[in-house]
Structure 1
Amino acid sequence: MTPDATILSQAALPSSNDPELFARWVDARFAEDRTSAHIDLPHEAAQAQPASRLPGYVDRSTGAGRIHRSGFLQSPEPWLKHPQARFQMAGLIPGPDGRDHPLRPANPKGLVYERFFADAGITVSFHAVEIERDLDIFHRWQNDPRVAYFWEEDRSKEELRGFLENRLSDPHNFSIIGSYDGQPVGYFEVYWAREDRLGAYYESGPWDRGWHGLIGEVSALGRARTSAWIRALTHYIFLDCPMTDLVVGEPRVDNAKLLRYADALAYSKIKEFDFPHKRSALMHCARDDFFSRVAL
């Protein structure tokens, strides 16, 4: 056996012909060996319909197959829970300060992503925000002094209703609730960077995307769990739009707890700069870097 591959016996394969079950099985094998670059499959598995839908190749001489970790993790099944959106490749619409951009599709509803992270022992999932369902917990999180220090949104419930209504009506933003094992733990915003305030501070591309996030439940904190949600959110962003090659961020420069995760998760600090309300660090995460370096 080569050191960077796992060769699997036919007996280890799932008996079902279900593509999602097969993909989850492959994901679990990669989780068992977080350093493996690919999985080698015997002839029978390589010829099966579920395997044929995964990124890899079949050796014509032997019929054996190989699934590459990087390509496998960039396929939407089984983690993306809505159809990949259809993006218009040609034609631009006016954007802020001359930053024209492609026309964006409507945001999805309901569950959008779900994945089990073996190293943290939790399933991370994201749901589109529904104000009537999520307002109470969002209000509690924002009025926690720990969260308010960074977000500065410690306001009344009705004021926060207006905040969410504004976010949901903004076509460049997508607001989601993050959960661990089905229990809500945090709020996240995924945004198109070129239309965002951040787009004016670097050479923003038409498909660049960024995020803001907070974990509202103290019980959900911890190094392994924080790493899991950052990986999950970045993974979701890259899955949602195949043209997105760069994920960006602008955390406060004094958010040391968040920034210490950067290098291990393929985020690089490009520079420091000043927004009107805070001094920020410009963070970049390139698609190729993320899928080649980060053990999901």
Structure 2
Amino acid sequence: MPPTDHPTGDRTKGPVDDVEDTLELPLRIQDGLLARQWAPDPPDDPAHPDDAVRGELLDDPERWGPTTTSEGVLRLVPVRVGRDVTLISRWMNDPAVAAFWKLAGPESVTAAHLRAQLDGDGRSVPCLGVLDDVPVGYFELYRADLDPLARHYPARPHDTGIHLLIGGVADRGRGIGSTLLRAVADLVFDRRPHCTRVVAEPDLRNAPSVAAFLTGGFRFAAEVELPDKQAALMVRDRALRGVL
């Protein structure tokens, strides 16, 4: 059970702070440099040892394709540890992110977290959220009905969970998180016909994250006690996607 947006997200699951401290400026500069070094793989790129699992349990997010948002064209790009760990680790070491995801430390900490998913059975798939070819955030898409979370709420078959963090300080607090959450939830509904609900469980203390979900078309369903936090169970219903 991982995290989400104010996007800072919490791996307990959700995002945080809108405050841009002058101490964060160097991180913003370094994040920008890392993002510019990132490049998508060619369409015909051969299999790579760090390729993400195919994700059959999630109907293969790698093949979902792009979607247009008010912020640009969004793609979910399955993580490759060798290519992406430096950038994701930088984000995880932002204090606002670390407070919830709890993955601060050397790159090996983030790499181990990513590999645990990539080496699994495909029920959780880590992805970069890429806007107009620039990575802006980190997603974890997971089968909530097959996750330990299902012990804490009345799960339905094919419930799909989202964890999100917005990486750049400059991108937080201006609605990008809500836009991406809505767009990815819609992608899930479009690509996973048997899924009727997208769920998330941000930390109740993470008010910006909860607000981002509400603005992104989710509703507050319940307060749930999880092993690592008191969480807000947020739900986006297929039946209400045109209303909320």
CA distance in 2, matches of 1:106, 1:224: 28
Which residue is 2:66 aligned to? 114
Which residue is 2:235 aligned to? 284
Are the counterparts in 2 of residues 127 and 178 from structure 1 also a CA contact under 8 Å? yes
What is the CA-CA distance between 1:212 and the residue it aligns to? 0.6
CA distance in 2, matches of 1:207, 1:237: 10
CA distance in 2, matches of 1:175, 1:243: 21
- Equivalenced residue count is 189
Which residue is 2:75 aligned to? 125
Per-residue deviation, residues 153-180 of structure 1 (Å, max 9, x unmatched): 1021122211111011222101110022
Which residue is 1:208 aligned to? 159
| Correspondence 1:143 to 2:96 | no
CA distance in 2, matches of 1:222, 1:115: 22
Secondary structure of 2:125 counterpart = strand
CA distance in 2, matches of 1:227, 1:169: 30
Q: Which amino acid aligns with 2:68?
A: F
Secondary structure of 1:207 counterpart = coil
CA distance in 2, matches of 1:202, 1:105: 20
Q: Percent identity at matched positions?
A: 30
What is the CA-CA distance between 1:108 and the residue it aligns to? 4.8
CA distance in 2, matches of 1:105, 1:177: 16
CA distance in 2, matches of 1:155, 1:107: 31
Higher relative contact order structure (alpha carbons within 8 Å, sequence separation ≥ 6):
2
Which residue is 1:59 aligned to? none
CA distance in 2, matches of 1:112, 1:134: 20
Give the TM-score taking structure 2 as reference length: 0.71
Equivalences for 1:246-257 in 2 at 5 Å? 246-257=197-208
CA distance in 1, matches of 2:65, 2:180: 11
Q: Which amino acid aligns with 2:184?
A: L
CA distance in 1, matches of 2:114, 2:57: 20
CA distance in 2, matches of 1:279, 1:161: 27
What is the CA-CA distance between 1:105 and the residue it aligns to? 6.5
Per-residue deviation, residues 66-104 of structure 1 (Å, max 9, x unmatched): xxxxxxxxxxxxxxxxxxxxxxxxxxxxxxxxxxxxx83
Aligned mate of 1:273, from 205, 224, 240: 224
Which residue is 2:169 aligned to? 218
What is the CA-CA distance between 1:220 and the residue it aligns to? 2.1
Equivalences for 1:73-112 in 2 at 5 Å? 104=57, 107-109=60-62, 112=64
CA distance in 2, matches of 1:207, 1:249: 14
What is the CA-CA distance between 1:146 and the residue it aligns to? 1.1
Q: Structure 2: 5+ residue runs without aligned partners?
A: 1-55
CA distance in 2, matches of 1:218, 1:146: 9
Give the TM-score taking structure 1 as reference length: 0.59
Are the counterparts in 2 of residues 124 and 228 from structure 1 also a CA contact under 8 Å? no
What is the CA-CA distance between 1:282 and the residue it aligns to? 1.0
Which residue is 1:162 aligned to? 112
Q: Structure 1: 5+ residue runs without aligned partners?
A: 1-102
What's the Cα RMSD here?
2.1
CA distance in 2, matches of 1:238, 1:107: 13
